[in-house]
């Protein structure tokens, strides 16, 4: 059973470009979470999705960031018009059930560098 | 509101020493879960343990042990006879049963020197 897959593992963008980060949850998991880890800091929650629904996006910046988890295919975290401050590691996690009850398993992360 | 504090930013020990990483949490819920994750230099997050708020029994897994004390809202992690491969950042996390996400502590960077 493959773990949580994220791609790309490393992404370099210039200021103003768009970044698309992909996450495929573990088989059988229908709950996906995105976290951001700034250099030398802990993980901060961004958004929680189930298939075709955003459940909680309270940690997502109001502008330029969006997330989706379509019926088919991976979850996508999209950052438009990236700025240097977006440089961070973005982790995706999945769980089979509710966040408060089930363990979240993390992917390897995507390291975004904005030049 | 949930909060997790890991007061130790960095710890250095010499191989074979025992080391304890502290975690103190805040929550208003009576039902919650506590976790520890390890982030080695390669960057991935490795799940170590999950403990629910009704189970205060201490747990041991090889060289790892966890001490959960509700009275002091602490969930400390001890590594016995540390090894160089234990060098990593360790995160403590809290989730509430009706919460939507995990709240992570800031992490403790452990360096085990040969």
Average pLDDT over residues B49-64: 88
B95 touches chain A (CB under 8 A): yes
In whole angstroms, what is the distance from residue B84 CA to residue B70 CA?
32
What is the structure's pLDDT at A99?
Answer: 59
* Per-residue b or e along B47-82, where b marks 16 or more CB atoms closer than 10 Å to that residue's CB: ebbebebeeeeeeeeeebbbbbeeeebbbbbbbeeb
Q: Taking the mean position of all CA atoms in its chain, how far away is CA B83?
A: 17
pLDDT at B96: 79
- Residue A14: the pLDDT is 97
CB B107 within 8 A of CB B7: no
Q: Give chain A positions within 8 Å (CB) of B32.
A: 100
Percent of all residues in chain B with a pLDDT value above 70, rounded to a whole number: 96
pLDDT bucket at B69, cuts 50 / 70 / 90: very high
d(CA B101, CA B90): 18
The mean predicted confidence, pLDDT, of chain B is: 91
Least reliable range by pLDDT among A80-84, B42-46, B104-108? B42-46
pLDDT digits (tens, 9 = 90+) for A37-92: 988 788 899 999 998 899 889 889 989 999 999 999 999 999 999 999 999 999 99
Closest chain B C-alpha to A101 CA, distance in angstroms: 6
Q: What share of chain A is helix, strand, coil (3-state, %, to 5)?
A: 5, 50, 50
Contact B107 A100 (CB under 8 A): no
Q: Give all strands (DSSP E) within B7-87, no chain letters.
A: 10-14, 19-21, 24-26, 32-39, 46-52, 59-61, 64-69, 74-79
Closest-CA residue in chain B for A93? Answer: B45
**Predicted confidence (pLDDT) per residue in A21-41, tens digit:** 999 999 989 899 999 998 878
- Is some CB atom of chain A closer than 8 A to the CB atom of B33? yes
Judged against a pLDDT cut of 60, whether residue B43 lies above it is answered with yes
Which residues from B are below 8 Å from A104, CB to CB? Answer: 102
- Contact A56/A47 with Cβ under 8 angstroms? yes
**CB of B96 less than 8 A from some CB of A:** yes
Which of helix, strand or coil describes residue A86? helix
Mean pLDDT, all residues of chain A? 91
What are the Cα distances from residue A61, in Å, to A35, A57, A86?
Answer: 12, 9, 11
pLDDT grade for B42, boundaries at 50, 70 and 90: confident
User: What's the whole-number mean pLDDT along residues B95-114?
Assistant: 85
Task: Report the pLDDT value the prediction gives residue B86, as an integer from 0 to 100.
Answer: 97
Neighbour tally for B86: CB within 10 Å: 19
The confidence score (pLDDT) of residue B83 equals 97
Report d(CA B49, CA B47) in Å as an integer: 6
């Amino acid at each position: 059973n493959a773990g949580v897959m994220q791609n790309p593992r490393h992404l370099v963008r210039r200021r103003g470009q768009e970044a698309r980060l992909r996450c495929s949850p573990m088989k059988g998991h229908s709950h996906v979470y995105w976290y951001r880890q700034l250099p030398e800091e802990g993980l901060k929650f961004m958004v929680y999705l189930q298939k075709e629904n955003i459940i909680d996006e309270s940690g997502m910046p109001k502008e330029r960031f969006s997330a989706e988890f379509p019926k088919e295919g991976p979850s996508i975290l999209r950052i438009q018009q990236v700025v240097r401050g977006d440089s961070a590691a973005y982790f995706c996690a999945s769980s089979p059930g509710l966040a408060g009850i089930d363990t979240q398993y993390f992917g390897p992360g995507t390291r975004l560098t904005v030049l | 509101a949930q909060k997790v504090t890991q007061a130790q930013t960095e710890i250095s020990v010499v191989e074979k020493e025992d080391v304890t990483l502290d975690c103190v949490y805040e929550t208003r819920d009576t039902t919650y879960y506590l976790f520890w994750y390890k982030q080695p230099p390669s960057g991935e997050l490795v799940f170590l343990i999950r403990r629910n708020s009704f189970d205060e029994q201490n747990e041991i897994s090889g060289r790892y042990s966890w001490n959960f004390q509700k009275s002091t809202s602490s969930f400390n992690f001890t590594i016995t006879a540390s090894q160089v491969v234990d060098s990593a950042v360790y995160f403590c996390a809290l989730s509430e049963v009706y919460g939507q996400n995990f709240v992570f502590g800031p992490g403790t960077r452990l360096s085990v020197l040969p």
